[in-house]
Chains A and B, each alone.
Chain A
Amino acid sequence: MQRVRIHYKKGEELQYIGNLDLHRIWERTFRRANIPLAYSQGFHPQPRMHQACPLPLGFTSRVELLDFWCDSEESLPELQEKLVRTVQPGIEIVSLSDVPLKSPPLQTIVESARYEVSLDETYDLSQVSQSITSLNEAEQCMRERRGKQYNLRPLIKELSLDDSVDPGIITMRLSVLPGATGRPEEVLDELGISPVSVDVVRTDLTLNSIQ
């Protein structure tokens, strides 16, 4: 048995596909690649796979992580070659790496996610810059999501505007700890930017150092 971590990119073809569906997409990819996944025990055996953290719908990503367990003795390059051949439109495999069997589940070691937001020419950059500064300086930022009050501010680890490029890119790093996940569309809304009017891409995931 080996445990392998896939680093892949999620493209625009799959930007409206949620986590559960993505899980099945991967299951079928492994079937096509003829890589025998290990199955869980029990009445309804499930293939053993973990995803790092869900990507909100409508966004693309340059860094998505998936761990899988398989009974195959094949080397990483062999597995990668099989996956690249059978993966579907919208997924691009970047690399595979070995993970110790006993290391903690992927979703428990992701700390934060970084996003890049490409603005279009309709936004006034000085105004955006000002909103960012005041949000960064604020001690708290109470918002409501699905009827629940929460404080967005501590979930924002970094937030900045790069106005050297035209028409400007916002970079943010948000917490993704269980029960404390920052959503980029909430930050954008707070900045007065409509999330559907801009391109949001996840550019990085930060893992904690325990593993």
Chain B
Amino acid sequence: MDQLEIKKKLKTILPTVVKPGRYYGGELNHVVKDWDDIKIHSALVFPDIYNIGLPNLGIAILYEIINKRDDALCERAYMPWLDMETAMREQGVPLYSLESHRSLAEFDLIGFTLPYETLYTNVLNALDLIGLPIHSADRDENHPIIIAGGHTAFNPEPMADFIDAFVLGEGEEVVQEILDFIKKAKSEHFSRQQILLGLQCIPGIYVPSLYKVDYLADGKVKSVVPVEEGLPRTITKRIAPVLPNPPTHFIVPNIDVVHNRIAIEIMRGCTRGCRFCHAGMVNRPVRERSVDQIINSIEEALVNTGYEEIALLSLSSSDYTHIDELVSSISERFAGRNLSVSLPSLRIESFSVNIMEKLRGSRHGGFTLAPEAATDRMRSLINKPIQAEQLLETARQIYSRGWTTIKLYFMIGQPSETIEDVQAIADLCKQVLQEGRKIIGKKANLHTGISTFVPKPHTPFQWASLEPIESVLAKQNLLKDQLRAPGMKMTWSNPRETILESVLSRGDRRIGAVIEDAWRHGAKFDAWNDQFNFNVWMDAMDAANLTTDFYTSRPREINEVMPWDHLSTGVSRAYLEREYRNALAGRFTPDCRDQCLSCGIVPAFAGQQPQTEGVNWFCPDPEVG
């Protein structure tokens, strides 16, 4: 179906669906180029609905970079919600781009971002809605190349059957190399096999069809090796050694979406070393942006967008070297403009309250902290040292300086956690609210978010077991029971979704058949509580002759070959093993800004570390001896 036909069909479909504005494009700052003038046509897809996908920073970054090129264009697509999908299928309308209303089948290259695993079935649905064969092996030269990136790409095996090539790590530099290659492949009419091989030759790219998985008799992975000579045995992620200027031409949606704001990464990476944290391990090394660069980018983005909200993003804002200076500059520079500024991931200390006080405009939200655990034993296990008294003192400061709501995040189900450790969470929450009561009386609120630990690849806990559902439920019930009081509110994760997330995050290539089967039986939007269908997934596991326990709670030997061992984040397996042992022994490891722990990131990117003060990484010289 061509562009004009799609537009015509939309005219009859859109008046019949919920929130049609999200299916029409036409936003401020979107880029529409002359199709016939441009050599490389690329599309980026966030495989969930527009409202969730539009604010995605990864897409914003790549969209701006690609559209800056004269020889390439980049358009966007998101998943249609159920009513729209039904209408599209009835009318034969393929998944189309918002910029030119063209079928994605007309593009040379389609990039999916996969920040979390529960998007997988939507990718299959997207390929199907475009009219493409869902299996990579069934596609040919006439089909677009399908690339995926994002945090889940560090264990892409479950999606290996469907995606042609994965990008490991940061996209800013490698995207240029991919586009250059696709341009060459197009003008020289490369065969599909030549294209796949060529992509595999770009550092940081993983073409799974060029790697073969062998299994042991018990089902564990024996090896993942290249199918031919000359291909790398290990593929290492890409990084931007120095953070480039952030995007400032954010697309401003015409409708309300989950985050309506300018998002600026103040730094990338984290040195804290929390052992459960995927982001903290896969985003190393730490790189900061200068205060000037951040302020200028915000100023520019405000002019370009007119947004009323700014989010300063990082994994650990308190660790940003010039946080005080940054916050002071922002509050002076942007005062009186009715802007709100958010700064997540602050350390649990009074200083954080000073920082937030400077940023606070006329509107008060809650104050969010993430203690994660409530006993010293658990804190030393996960490597997040916080004293209870420190939390209480911070809470006192927060309540006494005008905030009425504190939000606390905890994670249950960490290795060896007992019901007593969970009881301590409930006790600590009650104490925090009590402090609030003393200061502001009944106005004090406490919201608690209880997530369940899911062991993630490339972390020290990649060997750990997922806690069985029975004990997760018991722990959740304890908390639900005890944190039911006036002024308290609690949210928790659906333990069945946790099981699925766990299977998908440490899954091997055989999980591909499970994803396909689940999708064929109606699974999509698995991240949506009201759409998630656990039974479809369990049936699919049965059909593939696989058990969930094998992927979730089975104890893993320290020397077991992981399905992702051929992919490297730069952090060595030796370091992860060391940290896992430290966890089990209850030993804290210091922040590696202060002392190098030889995680492997510096040698993995040897020669890429800039030597200039301010842009160098926060990696001290390794200790000798």
A interface list, Cβ under 8 A from B: 12-18, 20-21, 24-25, 27-32, 39, 44-45, 57-58, 86, 88-90, 195-197
**Which 10 A/B pairs are nearest by Cβ-Cβ distance?**
A28-B306, A13-B26, A31-B306, A32-B306, A16-B20, A88-B28, A16-B21, A17-B254, A58-B15, A17-B21
List residues of chain B with CB within 8 A of the CB of A29: 306
CA gap between A136 and B203 in the complex, in Å: 73
List residues of chain B with CB within 8 A of the CB of A45: 338, 362
- Within 8 Å of chain A (Cβ to Cβ): is B550? no
From B14, B304, B338, contact of A16 by CB (8 A): B14
List residues of chain A with CB within 8 A of the CB of B12: 196-197
A88 touches B256 (CB 8 A): no
B252 touches A88 (CB 8 A): yes
CA gap between A12 and B338 in the complex, in Å: 31
Q: Specify the chain A residue showing the minimal Cβ separation from B304.
A: A32
Known: A16-B14, A57-B15. A28 touches B21 (CB 8 A): no
- Within 8 Å of chain A (Cβ to Cβ): is B303? yes
Q: 28 A-B pairs, CB-CB below 8 angstroms?
A: A13-B24, A16-B14, A16-B20, A16-B24, A17-B21, A17-B254, A18-B21, A20-B256, A21-B255, A28-B306, A28-B308, A29-B306, A30-B306, A31-B307, A31-B308, A32-B303, A44-B363, A57-B15, A58-B15, A88-B27, A88-B28, A88-B252, A89-B26, A89-B27, A89-B28, A195-B15, A196-B11, A196-B15
List residues of chain B with CB within 8 A of the CB of A195: 15
- Within 8 Å of chain A (Cβ to Cβ): is B305? yes
Q: Specify the chain A residue showing the minimal Cβ separation from B26.
A: A13
CA gap between A171 and B16 in the complex, in Å: 24
A17 touches B302 (CB 8 A): no
A28 touches B252 (CB 8 A): yes
Q: Specify the chain A residue showing the minimal Cβ separation from B22.
A: A16
- Taking A16-B23, A90-B254 as known contacts, 9 extra A-B pairs with beta carbons closer than 8 A to each other, sorted by chain A number, are A12-B26, A14-B254, A15-B24, A21-B254, A32-B303, A58-B14, A86-B306, A196-B12, A196-B16
List residues of chain A with CB within 8 A of the CB of B28: 28, 88-89
Q: Specify the chain B residue showing the minimal Cβ separation from A56.
A: B15
Q: Specify the chain B residue showing the minimal Cβ separation from A32.
A: B306
**What is the size, in residues, of chain B's interface with A at 8 Å between Cβ atoms?**
27
Least distance between B186 CB and chain A CB atoms (Å):
30
CA gap between A39 and B303 in the complex, in Å: 20
Interface residues of B in 113-150 (CB under 8 A from A): none
A17 touches B255 (CB 8 A): yes
B interface list, Cβ under 8 A from A: 11-12, 14-16, 20-21, 23-28, 252, 254-256, 302-308, 338, 362-363
Least distance between B501 CB and chain A CB atoms (Å):
34
B21 touches A21 (CB 8 A): yes
List residues of chain B with CB within 8 A of the CB of A18: 21
List residues of chain B with CB within 8 A of the CB of A196: 11-12, 15-16
Q: Specify the chain A residue showing the minimal Cβ separation from B256.
A: A21
CA gap between A31 and B24 in the complex, in Å: 24
List residues of chain A with CB within 8 A of the CB of B16: 196
CA gap between A195 and B338 in the complex, in Å: 41
Least distance between B30 CB and chain A CB atoms (Å):
8
Least distance between A39 CB and chain B CB atoms (Å):
7
Q: Specify the chain B residue showing the minimal Cβ separation from A26.
A: B306
Least distance between A137 CB and chain B CB atoms (Å):
30
Least distance between B107 CB and chain A CB atoms (Å):
22
List residues of chain A with CB within 8 A of the CB of B306: 27-32, 86
- In this complex, the member of A29, A31, A39 whose beta carbon has the largest number of chain B beta carbons within 10 angstroms is A31
CA gap between A29 and B29 in the complex, in Å: 13
CA gap between A17 and B15 in the complex, in Å: 11
List residues of chain A with CB within 8 A of the CB of B254: 14, 17, 21, 25, 90
- In this complex, the member of B302, B307, B338 whose beta carbon has the largest number of chain A beta carbons within 10 angstroms is B338
Least distance between B611 CB and chain A CB atoms (Å):
40
Q: Specify the chain B residue showing the minimal Cβ separation from A22.
A: B254
From B23, B302, B308, B338, contact of A39 by CB (8 A): B338
Least distance between A203 CB and chain B CB atoms (Å):
20
Least distance between A198 CB and chain B CB atoms (Å):
10
Least distance between B120 CB and chain A CB atoms (Å):
30
List residues of chain A with CB within 8 A of the CB of B25: 13
List residues of chain B with CB within 8 A of the CB of A44: 363
Known: A14-B254, A16-B24. A28 touches B362 (CB 8 A): no
Least distance between B206 CB and chain A CB atoms (Å):
39
List residues of chain B with CB within 8 A of the CB of A90: 26, 254
List residues of chain A with CB within 8 A of the CB of B26: 12-14, 89-90
Least distance between B31 CB and chain A CB atoms (Å):
11
CA gap between A29 and B23 in the complex, in Å: 22
List residues of chain A with CB within 8 A of the CB of B252: 28, 88
CA gap between A197 and B9 in the complex, in Å: 10
List residues of chain A with CB within 8 A of the CB of B363: 44
List residues of chain A with CB within 8 A of the CB of B308: 27-28, 31
Least distance between A74 CB and chain B CB atoms (Å):
18
Least distance between B340 CB and chain A CB atoms (Å):
12
CA gap between A17 and B19 in the complex, in Å: 8
List residues of chain B with CB within 8 A of the CB of A32: 303-306
List residues of chain B with CB within 8 A of the CB of A27: 306, 308
CA gap between A13 and B98 in the complex, in Å: 11
List residues of chain B with CB within 8 A of the CB of A88: 27-28, 252
CA gap between A177 and B586 in the complex, in Å: 72
List residues of chain B with CB within 8 A of the CB of A16: 14, 20-21, 23-24
